Amino acid sequence: MSVTVRLTGLLVVLLIGVVLGLQTAERGISKVSGIPEEKAQAFYIKKVEQGQMEIAVMGKQVQTADPNKMVNYVSRMGLTLGGTVKSGAKTFVDWIGGFFEP
């Protein structure tokens, strides 16, 4: 595997970890401070009405002309990322398993 692909994979994993960490820290701070439930600032998706969604990333509202197009785009990205992580994990397990083959 080329260095660029490895670096890109590591950066994607790092970005996901940062976003998940921000969400976890935000929930913990709100529990400790006792502030009523507010919109999350890291990543927020809320169904508003009749299938429309409100999406915010890092506190900025993401809007498109067609909300269904945005949701489908996010869904496709998630499926692609999930497939990539799955195949990467399988490759990693096969590589580790190669050390134990007779």
**Sign of dihedral through CA atoms 5, 58, 44, 19?**
positive
Strand partners, 100: none
For residue 12, give the amino acid letter.
V
pLDDT of residue 42: 65
The token duo for 2 is: 């080329």
Is the pTM for the entire model greater than 0.85? no
Report whether 40 contacts 23 (CB < 8 A).
yes
59-101 pLDDT, tens per residue? 666 665 555 555 566 777 888 888 999 999 999 988 888 888 7
Domain, as residue range, for 83: 3-98
User: What's the structural domain count of the chain?
Assistant: 1
The length of the chain is 102
Measured distance CA(65)–CA(69) in Å, rounded:
8
3-state SS of 76-102 is: HHHHHHHHHHHHHHHHHHHHHHHCCCC
pLDDT of residue 79: 84
